[in-house]
A and B are shown apart, each in its own frame.
Chain A
Amino acid sequence: MPLGVYVCHCGLNIAGVLNVEELKSFALKLPGVAVARDLPFSCSDIGQEQIQKDIAEYKLDRIVVAACSPRLHEPTFRRAIAKAGLNPYMLEMANIREQCSWVHMDQPAMATQKAKDLIRMAVAKAALLQPLEQESIPVSKDVLVIGGGVAGIAAALDLADAGLHVFLVERRPTIGGHMALLTDVFPTNDCSICVLGPKMSEVFNHPDITLITYAEILNIEGSVGNFQVTGHRRARFVDEKLCKGCINECASVCPVEVPNEYDFGIGKRKAIYIPYPQAVPLVACVDPKACIGCARCVEACPAEAVKFEQQPQEFKLNVGAIIVATGWQPFDATRKEEYGFGRYRDVITTLQMERMLNASGPTKGDVVRPSTGEIAKSIAILQCVGSRDATVGNIYCSRICCMASLKNAQLVKEKYPETDVTIYYIDIRACGEGYEEFYVRAQKLGINFVRARVSRIDRVDKDIYLIFEDTQTGEVKRVKHDLAVLSVGLEPDQNAEVLGNLLGLSRRPDRFFEIAHPKMRPVEAHIDGVFIAGCASGPKEIPISIAQGSAAAAKAIKLLHKGELELEPTSAYVDQDLCAECKICVEVCPKKAISVKSPAYVDEAACKGCGSCAAACPKDAINMRLFSDEQILAQVRAATEETSEFPLIVAFLCNWCSYGAADLAGTSRIQYPTNARNIRVMCSARVDPSFVLEALRRGADGVLIAGCRLGECHYRNGNYQALQRVNVLKGVLEKIGLDPGRVKIVWCAASEGEIFARDLKEFIAELKAMGPIGTELEKTKVEAGDGKEKTAEGAGP
């Protein structure tokens, strides 16, 4: 296995500090090295050609480039050696620029010594590299969209228009979500159903969309590219193909009346019903809880569509991606007992107000007092009911209620100019295009604004009274109104909980689904191939829900359009003979990529190569294709072969944040001592305790593990796992008589070069105070006398 080593000058960036000549001759003496050269610019065409020429001439089968950070030029050199016929994964880089010459500019001798160690480590690792193949798997080009609200509709239409087949599954008998029930929408006061209705029927008529309403998802298996989904369609007791949607014949003879959930309880419907006139599909539905089975509808239907014998139907789908658009549910206002909702009829919610204002709603657009049926003359709107309220566990702002209330107030004022409308608010949040202007419009219309959070609502005789402190004057007041409208907040849909568990989605403290990165990946879930759109990931306005639906669609198209998925060969694999089926790997895997099918099985499409399983496996039955146990141990041994300075630190840096931070320290020329020998790993969770013990056993004075800041792990929770392991490890060190402070775990974001340097300096100072490794053992020996000499030597793994 002849190996070539190339030491880059990078102009003077490296050669200005390090003795490149010395490094080259040092490399030439390392085992397996057939050729070593120094190149002025290894990444230049000339540099690459030299490497390619040597590969042919010396029959090199692996290459080490000692130059800049692999995060910068690893792809360049991989391509270069692939051109010369080598497997692209037969490359290892030693980072002697960002993490050496640029950060130790005033100590060239020590820096050259460190660079030698880094090259030795790279050569040791390179000797163990294996050729890897990028595998590609065929994927289904179908997409499942869960939830037929406005976000789901936007996603489904974009996907289908791009030529992917969509299964749109909706829990209710109609799509349209909450938007279909609203009256006009802010900030332009255009009619909601007029803009949504055409989209709903487009979904229904699209040849590439299979609409499955009144249905639920029961099970989801598989992973990105190939999810196997099982669901069931509930019985409507009406044949969808036969029903003409006339509703008159069946509903008019139905003797049962129940509150209409689509009017949020203020209107009534029959036991056989269509949710609202624009429902899609326009098919009747029998409510089995309300129906008394008189079968008068069966007789009345001229199309003979009512079928009491209908059974639920199971369906199975195979899809490549899943878009979760499960939306929201209104806060249950009865939980705020002091407002009397549910006890006082004239206290209603925003959604009931929306239905009242709706021309096709239960009052045909009139805003009335439910207790008398008379037009309300004085209306109070209370903001932040169930939002920004720790007493009900919802600290978050629901984001849309201020605007919705401004809109409803305007609609009332436009229809009944003499009606007194007062909005009681803590803060008016009008952040969006045209929103503040909308607020100004409301003020100009004569709507009253009182900065107060209403403390309670009393009813005396037929009237309701609001008690509040007008915080601008400091007066506590008791004011009479005809109607009080509670601006209820948004909560995640309860029914989405089961689905979240099926998919393994995580939730934020506010209970909405968590996205993969709070800024950079707004529609992706932690699970590959799963996307989240609309209010499922938090309260949002209509345009943002639509944008997210489209964004999720674009992400799914990008993922599936080729019909195959190229897998990075970074995944974990199981040694079947060693696996004890303990399932620890299943628990630690943040991507749900491992299942125990005796033995454990890694779904390579789902695995992202963090390596936590390999570190956790008690039998070392799991290993990684890149960053294997043997390779990392070889690096550790090479780093400690010559303990060239004190304290000598072996540092494990996670690829995403702390390795980036160390690189940034270099590009920012932040100077720090040369003591650390850095080893790149994909995640801090990759660090097997045995790596640490091996480093200490071989004479390293300390081991540093650096990960992303807690809560910011690129694999979700790897750094927490690393923290837990380090804590256990500290206990082990204490038991064998070593100072637990010799292992340190720190967190830095990729932007925190300064913090990386600071933490490292601190660690160096701590280790200096401790003395070289083993000092503490000498001390204990002296203290304990000669009788019980327990040594830590040989206490390695």
Chain B
Amino acid sequence: MAADEEFKQEVLRLAGPEVLTCIQCGTCSASCPTAHLMKPSIRRLVKHCLEGKKEEALRNETIWLCTSCQLCTVRCPRGIRPKAVVTALKELAEREKIKGKDQAYEELFQRQIKDYGRIAEILLSGEFMFVFPQGALQSMELGLEMAPKGKIKLAVEKIRGRDEVRRIMEELGKG
């Protein structure tokens, strides 16, 4: 993938020019409480930005796993704000309509509640597999194990007062 200079400049504009001074020491990753779940690590994420690797920087779970605890920013010896890099990437991902796993799942979940008033598990997993195949594969294994034990309901149930639920959801959505 060719370096995307425009993307790099946009990250620098949002997260500050000091990102250029990164020495890849790994203090940020090692300070991060969710580092064990992150791939790539926050250090690599900064490197991707500096190399203009837009796809790698935006299409990953790392940016959605950040808890904004700011430890990376407090400890960075170069005075960089890695947290600001993550925020910048989230914003850019939003602009590019790139969704993370949780976000995709959340949207489907909400829509089903609106439609049926409760979750239709079989539909939810199916749809999720469709919109986010790379994330759904992980849950497939678990699903295959659960299905024979009758833990997954195949029927699509609806509740009464779905209009009311929808109204509540819409009301909440406004906030």
Chain B CB within 10 Å, residue with most, of A388, A455, A474:
A455
| B40 → A minimal CB distance (Å) | 7
Closest chain B residue to A450 by CB distance?
Answer: B26
CB contacts under 8 Å to A, within B29-81, are: 29-32, 35-36, 40-41, 43-44, 74-79
Which residues of chain A come closer than 8 Å to B35, judged between CB atoms?
Answer: 469, 476
Which residues of chain A come closer than 8 Å to B23, judged between CB atoms?
Answer: 388, 426-427
B9 beta carbon closer than 8 Å to chain A? no
Contact B26 A384 (CB under 8 A): no
A72 to B40, CA, bound (A): 63
B24 beta carbon closer than 8 Å to chain A? yes
| A383 → B minimal CB distance (Å) | 10
Which residues of chain A come closer than 8 Å to B87, judged between CB atoms?
Answer: none
Contact B77 A389 (CB under 8 A): yes
| B79 → A minimal CB distance (Å) | 4
| A337 → B minimal CB distance (Å) | 10
Which residues of chain B come closer than 8 Å to A470, judged between CB atoms?
Answer: 26
A71 beta carbon closer than 8 Å to chain B? no
Contact B75 A469 (CB under 8 A): no
Main secondary structure of the interface of A (DSSP, over half): mixed
B25 beta carbon closer than 8 Å to chain A? yes
Given A338-B75, A389-B77, does the pair A468, B30 have CB atoms closer than 8 Å? yes
CB-based A-B contact count at 8 angstroms: 61
A456 beta carbon closer than 8 Å to chain B? yes
Which residues of chain B come closer than 8 Å to A388, judged between CB atoms?
Answer: 23, 77
| A530 → B minimal CB distance (Å) | 34
CB contacts under 8 Å to A, within B121-149, are: none
Chain A 398-431: CB-based contact to B (< 8 A → 1; otherwise 0): 0000000000000000000000000000110000
A453 to B76, CA, bound (A): 10
Question: Which of A391, A474, A476 is B75 in contact with, Cβ under 8 Å?
Answer: A391
Chain A CB within 10 Å, residue with most, of B35, B43, B77:
B77
> Looking at chain B, what size class is its interface with the partner chain?
20 to 34
A550 to B78, CA, bound (A): 36
A454 beta carbon closer than 8 Å to chain B? yes
A471 beta carbon closer than 8 Å to chain B? yes
Contact A452 B77 (CB under 8 A): no
B27 beta carbon closer than 8 Å to chain A? yes
Which residues of chain B come closer than 8 Å to A390, judged between CB atoms?
Answer: 76-79
Contact A469 B43 (CB under 8 A): yes
Chain A 711-746: CB-based contact to B (< 8 A → 1; otherwise 0): 000000000000000000000000000000000000
A467 beta carbon closer than 8 Å to chain B? yes
Closest chain A residue to B26 by CB distance?
Answer: A469
Question: Which of B29, B74, B77 is A476 in contact with, Cβ under 8 Å?
Answer: B29
A384 to B29, CA, bound (A): 17
Which residues of chain B come closer than 8 Å to A389, judged between CB atoms?
Answer: 77
Which residues of chain A come closer than 8 Å to B27, judged between CB atoms?
Answer: 453-455, 469
CB-defined A-B contacts under 8 Å, sample of 21 = A338-B75, A388-B23, A388-B77, A391-B77, A391-B79, A427-B23, A453-B27, A455-B29, A455-B31, A455-B75, A456-B30, A456-B31, A468-B26, A469-B41, A469-B43, A471-B24, A471-B26, A471-B43, A476-B29, A476-B35, A476-B41
Q: A390-B76, A474-B43 are in contact. List 14 more A-B contacts (CB 8 A).
A: A391-B76, A453-B25, A454-B27, A454-B30, A455-B27, A456-B31, A467-B30, A469-B27, A469-B29, A469-B30, A470-B26, A471-B24, A474-B44, A476-B35
